[in-house]
Amino acid sequence: MTDLHTIPDFLDRNAAEFGTAAAYREKEFGIWQEWTWADTRAEVHAMARGLIRDGLAVGDHVAVLGRNRPQLYMAMVAAQCAGGIPVPLYQDAVGEEIAYALEHCGARFVVAGDQEQVDKVLEVADRISALHRTYVLDERGLRSYDRTNLVSLADLRASGEGADGAEMERRLGQQGPDTTCVMLYTSGTTGKPKGVVLSHRNIVATSKASSEFDGLRQSDEVLAYLPMAWVGDFIFSIGQAMVTGFTVNCPESADTVMHDLREIGPTYYFAPPRVFETQLTNVMIRMEDASPLKKRMFDRAMALAKRVGPLLLDGKPVSASDRLRYRIAEATVLGPLKNTLGLSRVRVGYTAGEAIGPELFDFYRALGINLKQLYGQTEASVFITQQKDDEVRSDTVGTPTPGVELRIDDSGEVFYRSPGSFVEYYQNPESTASTKDPEGWVATGDAGFIEPDTGHLRIIDRAKDVGKLASGALFAPKYVENKLKFYPEIYEAVVFGAGKDRCVAFLNIDLTAVGNWAERNNIAYSSYQELAGHPQVLDTLQAHVEAVNRSVAEDEMLSGCQVHRFLVLHKQLDADDEEMTRTQKVKRRTIEAKYADLIEALYDGSERVSTETEVTYEDGRKGVIRATLELRDAKVVPVAAKSPKVEVAAE
């Protein structure tokens, strides 16, 4: 099989060459269930034949809605084999978001994971003109439902097992590299999500190049726990998995991810900064509860690790005494810690999706984990740049992935050209033309620059968010926000200051970390709001803000971004309130408009401000939260006025 152009081609290859090897695993009822590549091909083809028998036409969109489960991944490939186009959606999306996506893509079929997802589809079904049938994997709770257009995935598979495969083979024979592979929706930070059309050429070429870059192999193991609607999960769990033949492991539930991570011990691991932040927060909480001896051992081991660990990873010279001390620390502290995190076997680790704070990045590198950074987008089939093993740094995102070209335009915006560049935005030629030019160059919307000596790309921030302070100094909020979020007590931060004489910030506390502190100190509280406004919590956060200011002051280009005043929001920023995307990216413009009164108070010198905010509960009901917030000043480090090294055009 020499001509492998599509995902179904690679499925056939894997079944032939790695037939008895594990393709997918899922933990169910405490036991890991396994599907070999031969099993996977049989199930995929049965589902594909069933879809064709049910009336799926070439080019039809098949929405997939649910948590990471092998059968849902197989359903996506089955849709491809039948000539359809899989459209994975976010499992935590509410009815309105689902209705928009289903109507926008004209989905005729939906594959739902369970009753919760079926309910969401039924809630909006009368508004979806093209919807023909919904298939469900887990039928629990559906006994009394109308089954006219609701079919179990098991019945679909059984229907396909008895069907003639000639039509499926005919459709497979008509597919090629330019056939649409998948449609994925953007996170929608600035408006309605756009449907990104990616071809098999995009997915296969990118998966091949990125896998070869890191030497991924058939024996590797990954954990599929990130949203199936996110392009990264599609590349890791379908693209690279099909190209290399490695095993994809699905956790039992969202609540057991960390436990399942430890059991699997993946060799290839990806997590956005938010996951690494949460893991570090949990570590620091546990160390606060540890005995003085264990706490002292941990502090000493980490001090040594931060100095020696990265050097050993990069193969740089280390004295014999430091090497020995590090090995002892690894045996007593670092090794058990990596095992607790489930990262003992990681050979290649990546983070992306948001910029990661250097302190957070350096912590994991110090443990001896080969954590690297990549830069990517949905429109690029993920990979634009990656870090080589011997060129890992916290302040860059690496050099171009093989086959990718980069350029920076006069405004400082990053552009790329790649085999993975998307085909189009579905039914949106205007946005397609404004994002990708006739020569194939794609605008990222990010501001950055390429280091002339190393060729590494440095991302400053989203181009629309980068601006200037009233003094003319560069304003890049994400740089400061990431430093703030390194502290376990700070879950989210939003910095403002474009066009102003100084920067101010909103903070969200991490309820787990701060709640643990309150419990240790016998401090009673009844709500997030009460804990967030506690004077001792505010004192702690003020100390963190001032520490970040000292760090920011050391950066000549961004020293003007120190936070002069801050407040702790009375509620957590939430995707249901349209303050964040489903991928946990802050919708900065929405927050600026929604909390304009709080921003004004931070700038006018108010010591307290009363406010009320509309919130959306999990069941869709609306409510109002009222609060009086204390505003705090933070010490800043005086810096001499300097001209920014990187010019970014004003919007």
pLDDT in tens, 398-452: 999 999 999 999 888 999 999 999 999 999 999 999 999 999 999 998 888 899 9
Q: Is the pLDDT of residue 1 over 50?
A: no
What is the per-residue pLDDT for 556?
82
Which phi and psi (to 5°) does residue 403 adopt? 95, -5
- Mean pLDDT score, 581-589: 82
Percent of the chain with pLDDT over 70: 96
Taking the C-alpha atoms of residue 644 and residue 449, their distance in angstroms, rounded to an integer, is: 13
Which residues in 200-267 belong to E strands, given as ranges? 221-223, 247-250
- Given a cut of 60, is residue 643 above it in pLDDT? no
**Would residue 646 count as lying in a domain?**
no
| pLDDT in the model for residue 123 | 92
CA distances from 223 to 256, 359, 566, 584, 649 (A): 12, 25, 38, 20, 41
End of a domain among 214, 247, 280?
247
pLDDT of residue 2: 56
CATH of the domain at 503: 3.30.300.30
Report how far Cα 214 is from the mean position of its chain's Cα atoms.
20
Segment 262-300, tens digit of pLDDT: 999 999 999 988 888 888 888 888 888 889 999 999 999
Q: What is the pLDDT of residues 78-93, one digit of tens each?
A: 999 999 999 999 998 8
In this prediction, residue 288 carries a pLDDT of 81
**If you search the block for the tokens 């098999």, which residue do you land on?**
200
CA distances from 394 to 193, 351, 357, 492, 582 (A): 30, 11, 8, 20, 26
201-224: string of b/e by CB count within 10 Å (b at 16+)? bbbbbbbbbbbebbebeeebbbbb
pLDDT (mean) for 202-216: 97
Range of the domain at 14: 7-199+226-247
**Is 77 or 580 the better-scoring residue by pLDDT?**
77
Q: What is the pLDDT of residues 361-390, one digit of tens each?
A: 899 999 999 999 999 999 999 999 999 998
- Are 152 and 158 within 8 A, CB to CB? no
Average pLDDT over residues 590-618: 91
More confident residue, 516 or 639: 516
- CA gap 224, 107 in Å, rounded: 25
Phi-psi region of 191 (alpha: psi -120 to 50; beta: other; left: phi over 0): left
Burial zone of 31 (CB within 10 Å; 0-12 exposed, 13-18 middle, 19+ buried): exposed
pLDDT of residue 190: 60
- pLDDT tens-digit series, residues 529-584: 999 999 999 999 999 999 999 999 988 888 999 999 999 999 999 888 888 887 77
pLDDT at position 461? 78
Torsion angle defined by CA atoms of residues 5, 7, 10 and 11, in that order, rounded to the nearest 10 degrees: -150
Residue 311: Cβ within 10 Å count: 15
Q: How confident is the model at residue 214 (pLDDT cuts 50, 70, 90)?
A: very high
In a domain? residue 588: yes
- The answer to whether residue 648 scores a pLDDT higher than 50 is no
* Intra-chain end-to-end CA distance of the chain, in Å: 52
For residue 651, name the pLDDT band (cuts at 50, 70, 90): very low
Is 320 among the domain residues? no
> What mean pLDDT is predicted for residues 11-37?
96
Residue 189 pLDDT > 80: no
Contacts for 319 with CB less than 8 Å, ≥ 6 apart: none
Please give the tally of structural domains in the chain.
2
Handedness of CA 325, 331, 335, 340 (dihedral sign): negative
Which residues on adjacent β-strands are paired with residue 270? 350
State whether the Cα torsion 209-210-213-214 is positive or negative. Answer: negative
Strands 503-509 and 490-496: what pairing?
antiparallel
Q: Residue 619 has what pLDDT?
A: 65
Average pLDDT over residues 163-171: 94
Residue 402 maps to a domain? no
3-state DSSP assignment of residue 485 = coil
Domain-embedded: residue 371? no
Q: Which pLDDT value is given to residue 113?
A: 96
Q: What is the 3-state secondary structure (H, E, C) of 371-419?
A: EEEEEEEHHHCEEEEECCCCCCCCCCCCEECCCCEEEECCCCEEEEECC
pLDDT category of residue 585 using cuts at 50, 70 and 90: confident
Q: How far apart are CA 84 and CA 45, in angstroms?
A: 13
Question: pLDDT at position 463, please?
Answer: 77
CB atoms within 10 A of CB 405: 12
The answer on pLDDT for 641 being more than 80 is: no
Query: Does residue 381 form part of some domain?
Result: no
Q: Kindly state the percentage of the chain with pLDDT values over 90.
A: 73
Is the distance from CB of 564 to CB of 504 less than 8 angstroms?
A: yes
Q: Supply the pLDDT for residue 425.
A: 97
CATH code (residue 69)? 3.40.50.12780
Q: What mean pLDDT comes out for the span 587-606? A: 93
Band of the pLDDT at 360, cuts 50, 70, 90?
confident
Assess if residue 528 is contained within a domain: yes
Neighbours of 252 (CB within 10 A): 18
Kindly report the average pLDDT of the chain as a whole number: 91
Q: What is the pTM of this model?
A: 0.83
In a domain, 454, yes or no: no
Say whether pLDDT at 9 is over 70.
yes
Rounded CA gap, 210 and 256, in Å?
29
* Concatenated DSSP letters of 421-470: --SEETT-HHHHHHHB-TT--EEEEEEEEE-TTT--EEEEEETTT-EE-T
pLDDT of residue 581: 82
Q: In this model, does residue 640 exceed pLDDT 70?
A: no
